[in-house]
Amino acid sequence: MAVTTAARAAVSHRPRPAVHHAVHHAVHHAVRAYHRTGAPLNRLPSADVLDQVRDIPLYRASVERGDFPVLEKPEIARDFPANWMTPELERALETGDAEFVLSTGTNHARMQLIRPPYFLLRSYYRLWSEHPELGALWHAEARRISLTTVLATEHVARVNARKPGATPGERWLDDRTLYLNRQLDPDSWDRAEVERMLAEIREVSAAHPTGAYLLDCSSYHLAHLARKVTEWDLWDRFPRPAGIIHAYEYTPLNVRAYLRTHFDCPIVDLFGSTELGYLFYSEGEGRYRPYLHDMSVELIPVEPGSGIHSLIVTSIRNPYMPLVRYRSGDCVRTADGSPDPERIVSFCGREKELLATPAGPVAQADLDAGVAAASSRVFLHQLHLTGDDRCELWCTTFDGKPLAPEETAELAATVTALTGRTCRVEHRDHVPIGRSGKYAWLAAPQ
Q: CA–CA distance from 248 to each of 94, 149, 251, 364, 379 (Å)?
A: 32, 9, 9, 15, 17
pLDDT band at 105 (very low <50, low <70, confident <90, very high): low
Beta strands in 134-242 (DSSP E): 143-147, 177-179, 213-217
Enter the DSSP assignment of 172: B
Q: Is the pLDDT of residue 4 over 50?
A: no
Q: Letter for the amino acid at 134?
A: L
Prior bond to 81 cis, omega within 30? yes
Q: What is the rounded CA–CA span in Å between residue 109 and residue 120?
A: 19
- Please compute Rg for the chain using Cα positions: 24
Give residue-wise pLDDT tens across range 151-193.
999 989 998 888 887 788 899 999 999 999 999 999 999 999 9
Q: What is the pLDDT of residue 246?
A: 92
What is the chain's mean pLDDT, rounded?
Answer: 88
Note whether 33 and 66 are within 8 A (CB).
yes
Q: Letter for the amino acid at 424?
A: R
Q: What is the pLDDT of residue 43?
A: 67
| Distant-in-sequence, close-in-space partners of 210: CB < 8 Å, separation ≥ 6 | 140, 242
Note whether 26 and 61 are within 8 A (CB).
no
Give residue-wise pLDDT tens across range 21-34.
444 444 344 334 33
Q: 200: part of which helix (H) or strand (E)?
A: helix 191-206
Q: What is the mean pLDDT of residues 197-204?
A: 98
Q: 130: part of which helix (H) or strand (E)?
A: helix 119-130
Q: What is the mean pLDDT of residues 275-303?
A: 88
